[in-house]
Structure 1
């Protein structure tokens, strides 16, 4: 069995914490700089992924690092080298009196954790630690993590509402509804991971977005099934693209590689497929990205642009059905 401590009797994760902390204090790692990923720490220091994860979690609880979507773990922007970091023995933030704990604070804290670290990082214990209260305190307000996630979703979907004076025409209203949902998914990437078309979330503030979309389509002579099918097609387009926001953020945080870096590392495999002769159209299209007259070098995947162009094409195709009824 591997000895859980080093020669000094210190657990390996604390030694890793101390080394990275010192690099931050010395200014070697400045605010916004990426710190080694869990896989990089595990590979370079010969420790388990769990040990590397525990080290980064400790640094995060000390306030020295933070996890940013699509970036990974970086030095916290609020860190000042002149300020000594908290000791690992007191990792929790400044405690708040138990009497100040409210359901709203619990939900907002949980949302902040999910925004920064992804939904898999969320736990009732973690929420309690972030709030500086006893581990079981949040359970007085919400019975389980599943219930908490539903409250988080409802709160997040409720951050954007619609104007009382709706735009004229079904299409401008649908476009506003779709852009509003995309904005929320952009703000909270984990939202798109919840529910599906077959098992939707039953929370009031998501239904409010559905109400806006359905009311935009109502009054055009569509039968209820067709009307609801169109609503689901539009919602599926928005959510279907939005799921990639969280997937990419999680991939960057876990591998330490940006999207471009990951693609660069797969270049030999891609080249082999292109040069195999088995996929001529694929080879022609992929080859054009590095040979185009506009100086294009590689395909630049832009989810925001795909959302906008896909929505436009979808509404163009639906227009005869909606307006011809």
Structure 2
């Protein structure tokens, strides 16, 4: 008698079940969405829905509003999860490093699991043994990037110098990794230890200067947001410079005739009156705004540093 072929949804569910039971997908990790299942396994949306429903009935996954489907805190299996090994950590670090290299040179949009697998010369499915999704991979990349510029153990003595140093280090990171600013989201922040360290640094710098906790937190997050906001166009600029062969300054010089046409007809008198050859580079604008921000914070400082 011919053995009955396993239904597609059952085959996919068995694969995900194995990853959960082995510990490759841990409690709280996101499992592929129905859309991701249709794309990865080439099945219909109804089949993908049956996969998640089957795993849910077994108590292996649960739906979390605003997040998606994640591995349940207590998987319905008596088999012990495989603990992470040193080799697992090394492989994950290699994956993250390769992903960062792709994003640095080609942009974050170019980073797909298939592209990454080709770079590492492995199968795309093998990557999911170490990262549960592309979203988790980007989180790991962001944390690794912020970890490249550690804050000094002995900070400058003055609160303002400490915040200026933090801003400078963040800016350098965004310049090194143009994709990083766009990957951050302050409405739904990435809870990465190396990023939180900058917030903690700013909070510590402002402690003891007459500011309440709410003001200190707003100041710290505003500083982080300010630098990120200036850096968010870096990836686009990097791509435009690569495509056009012109730097931002060269592009502006090429627009001089058009700018004169817009301004010299008298439609924008204030703009025309203040038009100069001032340096309006990203660095110049960053430093100007940072100084204004810290000047404003100075007016709230009531206890001078010792």
Alignment-derived partner of residue 227 in structure 2 = 238
Which of 293, 296, 301 pairs up with 1:314?
293
Per the alignment, do residues 228 and 279 of structure 1 end up closer, same or farther by CA in structure 2, a change over 3 Å counting? same
**Which residue number in structure 1 is paired with residue 122 of structure 2?**
133
Query: Partner residue of 2:157?
Result: 168
**Offset, 1:178:** 1.3
Q: 2:138 aligns with which of 132, 135, 149?
A: 149
Written as runs of structure 1 = structure 2, the 5 A alignment for 1:8-27 is: none
| Alignment pair present for 1:213 and 2:202 | yes
Match of 2:192 in 1: 203
Q: 1:71-86, aligned counterparts within 5 Å?
A: none
- Between the aligned partners of 2:154 and 2:208, the Cα distance in structure 1 is 17
2:291 and 2:233 map into 1 onto residues whose CA distance is 20
Q: What is the deviation of 1:169?
A: 2.3
1:264, 1:309 → 2: CA distance?
Answer: 22
Find the aligned partners of 2:154 and 2:88 in 1 and give their Cα distance.
42
**Normalising by the residue count of structure 2, what TM-score does the alignment of the two structures yield?**
0.65
Q: Count matched residues.
A: 218
Structure-2 separation of matches of 1:183 and 1:153: 14
Flag the structure with more relative contact order, 1 or 2, with Cα contacts below 8 A and sequence separation at least 6.
Answer: 1
Are the structure 2 counterparts of residues 166 and 149 from structure 1 closer, same or farther at C-alpha, using a change threshold of 3 Å?
Answer: same
Measured in 2, the distance between the counterparts of 1:100 and 1:159 equals 18
2:216 counterpart of 1:227: yes
Question: How many angstroms does 1:319 deviate by?
Answer: 0.9
Question: Deviation at 1:99?
Answer: 9.8
Match of 1:186 in 2: 175
Match of 1:12 in 2: none
Q: Following superposition of structure 1 onto structure 2, how do residues 26-41 of structure 1 map, counting pairs within 5 Å?
A: none
CA RMSD of aligned residues (A): 2.4
Call closer, same or farther: CA 1:279–1:160 in 2, change over 3 Å: same
Q: Residues 230-252 of structure 1: CA distance to partner in whole angstroms, max 9, x if unpaired?
A: 11221122111111221211222
What's the CA shift string for 1:38-93, capped at 9, x where partnerless?
A: xxxxxxxxxxxxxxxxxxxxxxxxxxxxxxxxxxxxxxxxxxxxxxxxxxxxxxxx
Shift of 1:199: 2.3
Q: How does 1:109-120 map to 2 (within 5 A)?
A: 109-120=98-109
Cα contact 2:145–2:177 (8 A) shared by 1: yes
Instruction: Select 1:253's aligned residue among 242, 264, 280.
Output: 242
Report the Cα distance in structure 1 between the residues aligned to 2:96 and 2:88, rounded to whole angstroms.
16
